[in-house]
Structure 1
Amino acid sequence: MDGNGVSRMATKGLLVHLGCDVTTVGLSEECLRIFSHEHKVVFTDVGISGMDGYEVVSVLQDRFSAHHQRPLITALTTNTDWVTKDNCLWVSMDGVVLKPVLLEKMRSILLVLLQNGTLRKTRY
């Protein structure tokens, strides 16, 4: 989920190139409407207009009561401050990744996420 169309398409391009099936949305309401158990990993910006990324994650936490049942949720943001990172981890996101992301970095991120279920001990 990313409100910036260019950023959203760039991220989609990387993920498609890596063989992922990708669904993109620009609004938090769209994300909440289509989000399901079929999604393994979700990348979200935190600075979305309307309901921000933190609020979306809180709603998704309620929807998927058991942590192991929900997809992995990772912030993909340009915000480099510690407050953003702390807020992401406080709402139980599985990691925080700083934009821009190039192909090899995205490959590594996906590998770590899918193997470990978190990026919390890895710096991206």
Structure 2
Amino acid sequence: MTIWGASYKAGTDDLRCSVAFEIIKSLARQKVIIQLFDPAAMVHLEKMKLPRPINLLKNQSDSLTGSELLVILNEWPQFSDMPLSQIKKRLKKPNIFDSKNLFNPTEMTKMGFNYFCLGHP
């Protein structure tokens, strides 16, 4: 699984009170293998003693390689700026859970993604 976003919101490296980071730690405790990318928080994450199944990746595109699911936990602009064709090409399976509704669900379905987002059927 790839997770984009660990900080409590886009535009910061702060992990304090981050719901995203709590979700990541919970998944790691369940032994889910996580490829994690955050544009700003990587410096702090590298200093932490993270559970073994969390792999930190410094490149957004590389974080997708081989993953069966992309989970988007905050709204960094570069997440929605990445071409959808590149996302689909890198993922092992085109599954996305988007907690920030960055993409149009109809467009995602037309492109062949299994797209799940909050507030949409």
Q: Structure 2 length as normaliser, TM-score? A: 0.51
* 2:65–2:90 Cα contact (<8 Å) kept: no
**Structure 1 residue 56 displacement after superposition:** 4.4
Task: Report how many residues are paired.
Answer: 91
Aligned to 1:23: 35
Aligned to 1:92: 112
Structure with greater helix share of residues:
1
Aligned residue runs from structure 1 range 1-124, under 5 A: 1-2=4-5, 4-5=7-8, 6-27=18-39, 30-37=59-66, 39-44=67-72, 47-52=75-80, 55-63=82-90, 70-79=92-101, 84-98=104-118
**1:46-85 per-position Cα deviation (integer Å, ceiling 9, x unaligned):** 84313516x3432132456xxxxx2342132244xxx732
* 1:78–1:98 Cα contact (<8 Å) kept: yes
Structure with greater strand share of residues:
2
Q: Which runs of 5+ in 1 are unaligned?
A: 65-69, 100-122
Aligned to 1:103: none
* 2:7–2:38 Cα contact (<8 Å) kept: yes
Higher relative contact order by CA 8 Å / sep ≥ 6: 1 or 2?
2
**1:73-122 per-position Cα deviation (integer Å, ceiling 9, x unaligned):** 2132244xxx73223323432121329xxxxxxxxxxxxxxxxxxxxxxx
Inter-CA distance 23–7: structure 2 relative to 1 (3 Å threshold) = farther
Inter-CA distance 14–94: structure 2 relative to 1 (3 Å threshold) = farther
What RMSD in Å do the two structures reach over aligned CA positions? Answer: 3.5
